[in-house]
Amino acid sequence: MKYTSILLLLFLGISWGQNPGRYAGLASNVFLRSDLPARTSALSGAFTAVADDETALYYNPAGLANVNFSSLSLNHSEWFEDIRIDNLIFTYKIDSKLGWAVGIAHLGMPAIQGKDIYGQPTQKLNVSSSYIQLGFGYKIMPAFYLGLAVKYFQDNLASYKADGLGIDLGFYMYTFIPGVTFAAAVQNLGAKFQYDVQKEQLPMTYRVGIAYKSYALRGLLLTLDVRKSIDTEYVPSIGLEYKYRNAISIQLGSRMVERDRIEPTIGAGLTISNKYFFNYAYFVSNNLGVTHKVGFSVRFGKKGFKARTKHYPGLSATTLRPPENVESYIVGNQLIIRWDRVSGARYNVYAKGNNQTKWSKLNRHPLYSNQMKFKKPRKGEKIRVKVTAIINARESSFSKEVVIESK
């Protein structure tokens, strides 16, 4: 009994060891609030207001409405004393408003040799913790999302076993400032659970975040989170990510583990064909040593749904409308398409030829300019052009059609 109790305390400590020191926590099953994926760990968990991929399931389920793809993600962590954490996430985009994900996480370690009060070996003690989580994100308005996740967990602490249910709730919104998002979530709501005689409380956690994706410097992300659990002080964390040509990325993060001490994190990512994603995170805990995390994701199936609505009535002060007064000019061998600016917007230009039935986007990345130049059509060729405006990753309806015919 003595050694089992010690083992229980050991397990509770190491599960929350990614936030050591005064934030180590007293609530049981602290595995529920560990950073699992590699990319988010490299950002020091400052992901509440980012929530732009499948890992939103563990930080803010409202962000699952942001996901415009289906994916499968695997994450693996190597910790001290051969402690390992494995995580699998599957995400599916149902329609333009609703996305869902399911994730499985498992923490395990080698069996620990038990000893009696005289120091003699007894049976080996097995320790593990697992949970499965199902989450949904729904787009209430173009700029405002809500999310819900339900989790079932099970602990095996030598001769003690326990299980229970928890709930996460969150919201996510685009602000009136282009590129800035704000979000908040409450995690691990649920009844007490029991290992032996004493009932334990879930580690209920509140988290608030703000993030900025730069339009001027493409690929730059800045994010800030503040987290508060029922048994910890406030834990601020910041993260920075820069992605070069949508292929190579680097992440830097920092979390305050004590008032006078921070814990930096670093990570890197590689994207191939915008389909295969590799991520790595590295950090050194002041108390528990080095941690390595690797992640792999593949996106497939649905490519996503573009929201082309006539208005942008969300919580933004900007009305998202299509550009007006779209005009065309032929100057020498160039065709110039020009339109009126929409405040704070970038633009996509679509075209359709004589015998084409589908609109094709002409620009690879959203345009900052309110005009586009390309080669003049051949004589007798007729093309149709439409333009859309983009604010905070939301796209307007089409502008009025412009028909260009070269004579």
Residue 130 lies in a domain: yes
pTM of the full predicted structure?
Answer: 0.69
Q: Which amino acid is at 274?
A: N
Cβ-based burial of 134 (10 A; exposed 0-12, middle 13-18, buried ≥19): middle
Residue 254 lies in a domain: yes
Residue 314 pLDDT greater than 50, yes or no: no
Question: Three-class SS of residue 40?
Answer: helix
Task: Write out pLDDT tens, residues 15-65.
Answer: 444 444 443 434 446 677 778 899 999 999 999 999 989 999 999 999 999
Same-domain status, 127 and 83: yes
Residue 314 lies in a domain: no
Q: Identify the pLDDT of residue 30.
A: 60
Same-domain status, 229 and 140: yes
Residue 15 lies in a domain: no
What is the token pair recorded at 291? 């941690």
Same-domain status, 204 and 144: yes
- Domain end among 300, 315, 333: 300
CB 139 within 8 A of CB 146: no
Q: Identify the pLDDT of residue 288.
A: 63
Same-domain status, 276 and 333: no
Same-domain status, 355 and 242: no
CB 129 within 8 A of CB 146: no
- 330 or 359: whose pLDDT is higher? 359
Residues 392-402: what's their mean pLDDT?
Answer: 84
Q: Identify the pLDDT of residue 266.
A: 95
Residue 310 lies in a domain: no
What is the token pair recorded at 38? 């590699």
CATH code of 63's domain: 2.40.160.60
Mean of all residue pLDDT scores within the chain = 81
Residue 24 lies in a domain: no
Q: Identify the pLDDT of residue 306.
A: 39
Where b means 16+ CB within 10 Å and e means fewer, 361-373 reads: eeeeebbeebebe
- 221 or 95: whose pLDDT is higher? 221
Total of domains in the chain = 2
Same-domain status, 269 and 368: no
Same-domain status, 275 and 142: yes
Question: Three-class SS of residue 66?
Answer: helix
Same-domain status, 335 and 278: no
43 vs 225: CA distance, rounded Å: 10
Domain that includes residue 399, residue range: 324-406
Same-domain status, 73 and 110: yes
Same-domain status, 333 and 295: no
Residue 380 lies in a domain: yes
State which H helix or E strand residue 14 sits in: helix 2-15
CATH code of 362's domain: 2.60.40.10
Residue 5 lies in a domain: no
DSSP at 21: G
165: left (phi over 0), alpha (psi -120 to 50) or beta: beta
What is the token pair recorded at 385? 């052009």
Same-domain status, 288 and 340: no
What is the token pair recorded at 228? 């508060």
Residue 203 pLDDT greater than 80, yes or no: yes
Same-domain status, 294 and 335: no
